[in-house]
């Protein structure tokens, strides 16, 4: 087991984030994440904004290599898990769970009632992972307008939103 520390991201961590996103995207079946999405990464300005807001955390190994990250925002007045990725070589070691715990703590500290996310319903490291941690699937009637807008953007971008699900954790 590798020793990993979870910490608030700083600008020095940002260069590693696109590589983590691409490596994590490679794990998805093409039916869920078509090839044209495999190299799509978060804009650097958006990563910087998350760091500036104090809403990005990184997992760093003993060699100070960034091996995972989580970023959050506020959507429909609730905490929102924007992204959670871990390098595949570091998967299944509890790093994602520890990153998520940091996001949950942030959301609680900010006194949000819920942490919300959008994920794939059928992949074991997506909805089933979050369900084990207490997240519940929301019906479309429970989606706020901003979450509904995010789902619409995914559909317009070409993702099969039938495989997507909105989940929330009561804090």
pLDDT in tens, 130-142: 999 999 999 988 9
Is-contact 57 104, C-beta < 8 A? no
Q: Is 120 left (phi over 0), alpha (psi -120 to 50) or beta?
A: beta
pLDDT digit string, tens, across residues 82-112: 999 999 999 888 999 999 999 999 999 999 9
Domains of the chain, with CATH numbers? 4-170 (3.40.630.30)
Rounded Cα distance, 73 and 44, in Å: 16
What's the pLDDT score for residue 1? 56
Give me 143's structure tokens: 């989606």
Q: Is the dihedral of CA 36, 41, 43, 46 positive or negative?
A: positive
How far is residue 61 from each of residues 72, 84, 89, 117, measured CA to CA in Å?
22, 17, 12, 26
pTM for this model (two decimals)? 0.92
């Amino acid at each position: 087991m590798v020793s990993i520390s979870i910490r608030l991201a700083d600008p020095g961590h940002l260069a590693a984030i696109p590589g983590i996103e691409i490596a994590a995207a490679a794990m998805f079946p093409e039916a869920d994440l078509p090839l044209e999405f495999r190299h799509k990464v978060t804009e650097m300005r958006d990563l910087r904004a998350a760091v500036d807001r104090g809403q990005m955390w990184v997992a760093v190994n003993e060699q100070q290599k960034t091996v995972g990250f989580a970023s959050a925002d506020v959507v429909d007045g609730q905490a929102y898990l924007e992204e959670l990725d871990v390098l595949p070589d570091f998967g299944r070691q509890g790093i994602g769970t520890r990153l998520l715990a940091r996001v949950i703590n942030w959301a609680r500290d900010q006194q949000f009632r819920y942490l919300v996310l959008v994920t794939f319903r059928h992949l074991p490291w997506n909805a089933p992972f979050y369900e084990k941690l207490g997240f519940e699937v929301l019906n479309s009637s429970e989606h706020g307008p901003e979450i509904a807008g995010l789902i619409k953007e995914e559909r317009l971008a070409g993702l099969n939103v039938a495989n997507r699900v909105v989940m929330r954790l009561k804090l």
